[in-house]
Amino acid sequence: MRGADVAGPEAESGKFHAGNLYCPVSDSTSFRRFLADVRFPYLAGTSFLLFGLIFGAFQLLEITIRSGNPGADLTYLHLSRGMVTSGGLVIWIIWTLYEYRDRIRTVMRQHDDQYQRLLGAAVETILLTDDHHRVVYANTAAERELGWTLTDMIGKPLTEVLPVAGGVDAARNRRWEADVTTHTGRVFRADLTHVVLLDEDGRREACGVILRDLTETRLRQAQLERSERLASLGHMAAGVAHEIGNPLTAISSIIQLMQKRPQDEFTTEQLQVVRENVNRINKIVRDLVDFSRPKRADLAPTYLNDLAEQAVGLMRHDSRCRDIRFEADLAADLPTVTATADRLHQVLVNLILNAVDATAGQPDRQVRIRTWADADMVHLSVEDNGKGIPIEVLPRIFEPFFTTKDVGKGTGLGLSVSHHILTGLGGRIDVESEPGRTCFSLRIPRETIS
């Protein structure tokens, strides 16, 4: 058979047994392996030596008898020599094979273990079926991926163990992608390969299915595509910021000059509106610059507790935070981190403002800031009791220009810039959200003292 073969519980002639897995060999190969396993040179040599000893002994007797010329005794001697020599050699060969039976079994078990370890160590799910499409072998990856135990899979129809959208064509070799449903009900996209195993005469003896979960692969592809988009956006942001920044500065200066001159009430109000929108554009430009600037600059030991107290102190004077109750749970003796203080301060202010906006309309608006440390990281969390973030948009909240706020109330760059800053420090920012609670957590490596 080409490749692996599958059969029933008993091995057929000319096949290695490996649990439910068989690896057939041709007659010539089997015979050569048999001769090697029983140490044929040793067997042939000792047999020849035994034959020589018996023949030599009888030769001495023949010489002795010939000296007396008894014809009947000589005939009897020749007959006895042939019988004793043949019988002795047969007995010797049988005894040798009997003694080496354990060695032969050990060699076969070694082949069995090799195949079992090879298939068991495979990352992909491997299922082998007999000609009736019932599972006769499954590796440990199949147990992990499909939710069945190994003993439960054996003997079951392949369609029950591996429910595949569109089914499996058991008549031909093929490779395709399909949705697979596990025994626990989980559905995932998989790459499947179906192989029809043939014997030396081209007749189908068994089938094999190799399955690879594409979930992680698709996730890495999506992350790579996102990284490429962010890199392109970073280059674009630098150019946009440069082209827009200078004209905006000129416009802002002209507006400020006009506001210093006496104007009617309507003109004064409109100039103020224009100035506010110019400032908003300036903020977007600054965020774009922050997004596209190098990750590390002006790094120094930074104490997160100080930044948290400064950010909360600043927000207490903001008109949007008048009815907010701030709670601070800052760990004593918090280690420092290596960072740019003003950029981390920017991250904290942005998270606090988002928390304040999220609590709008709540009867008891609360924002809690907490710090702590472990062996490798310093942690800071900003938690609010707002309405929460819809679960369907959570995966996108760190994307540039994505925002859940109303038009005109958010640029969609705050969290993206924060994520960019934390990643540049070797840390990360995570979010947990449910109705009535949202928590952003920062993790930054502790300062390394050399």
CATH of the domain at 257: 1.10.287
Q: Which of 276, 292, 308 is the last residue of a domain?
A: 292
Distances (CA, A) of 374 to 196, 334, 380, 424: 54, 10, 12, 20
For each successive 10 residues of the chain (450 residues), what is the average pLDDT?
37 35 45 59 69 66 59 61 68 72 70 72 86 87 89 90 77 83 87 85 83 82 70 70 76 83 82 81 70 62 92 80 88 91 87 89 89 92 91 80 62 76 88 91 79
Q: Which of 165, 191, 215 is the last residue of a domain?
A: 215
Give the per-residue pLDDT at 307.
92
Residues 307, 411, single domain; the answer is yes
Query: Do the domain assignments include residue 165?
Result: yes
Question: For 145-151, which contacts have Cβ atoms below 8 Å and span 24 or more sequence positions?
Answer: 145/182, 145/211, 145/213, 146/180, 146/182, 146/183, 147/182, 147/183, 147/184, 147/186, 148/183
Q: Which residues lie below 8 Å from residue 50, measured CB to CB, with a gap of 6+?
A: 88, 89, 92
Q: Which of 262, 292, 322 is the last residue of a domain?
A: 292
Distances (CA, A) of 55 to 45, 48, 81, 158, 290: 15, 10, 7, 64, 100
Residues 386, 366, single domain; the answer is yes
Residues 348, 430, single domain; the answer is yes
Query: Do the domain assignments include residue 116?
Result: no
Q: Which of 204, 138, 199 is nearest to 14 (CA)?
A: 199
The 3-state secondary structure of 295-344 reads CCCCCEEECHHHHHHHHHHHHHCCHHHCCCEEEEECCCCCCCEEECHHHH
Give the per-residue pLDDT at 335.
93
Residues 91, 141, single domain; the answer is no
- Angle CA 435–436–440, to nearest 5: 90
Give the per-residue pLDDT at 4.
39
Residue type at position 62: E
Give the per-residue pLDDT at 254.
85
Residues 385, 284, single domain; the answer is no
Query: Do the domain assignments include residue 114?
Result: no
- Domain span at residue 133 reads 121-215
Residues 425, 437, single domain; the answer is yes
CB 312 within 8 A of CB 305: no
Residue type at position 256: Q
Residues 436, 335, single domain; the answer is yes
> Are β-strands 300-302 and 337-339 bridged in parallel, bridged antiparallel, or unpaired?
antiparallel
Residues 80, 178, single domain; the answer is no
Distances (CA, A) of 174 to 125, 135, 177, 201: 16, 19, 10, 21
Residues 310, 436, single domain; the answer is yes
Dihedrals phi, psi of 441, to nearest 5 degrees: -120, 130
Number of domain units in the chain: 4
Query: Do the domain assignments include residue 271?
Result: yes
Q: Which of 332, 334, 339, 345 is nearest to 301 (CA)?
A: 339
Residues 284, 330, single domain; the answer is no
State the CATH number of the domain containing residue 384.
3.30.565.10
Q: How far is CA 358 from the centre of its chain?
A: 35
Q: Which of 290, 437, 275, 277 is nearest to 349 (CA)?
A: 290
Query: Do the domain assignments include residue 101?
Result: yes
Give the per-residue pLDDT at 11.
34
Query: Do the domain assignments include residue 394?
Result: yes
**Half-sphere exposure of residue 263, counting CA atoms within 13 Å on the CB side?**
15
Residues 206, 224, single domain; the answer is no
Give the per-residue pLDDT at 123.
82
Query: Do the domain assignments include residue 450?
Result: no
Give the per-residue pLDDT at 2.
40
Q: Report the chain's terminal Cα–Cα distance, integer Å.
A: 63
CB 111 within 8 A of CB 65: no
Query: Do the domain assignments include residue 408?
Result: yes
Residues 100, 193, single domain; the answer is no
Dihedrals phi, psi of 211, to nearest 5 degrees: -125, 135
Residue type at position 425: L
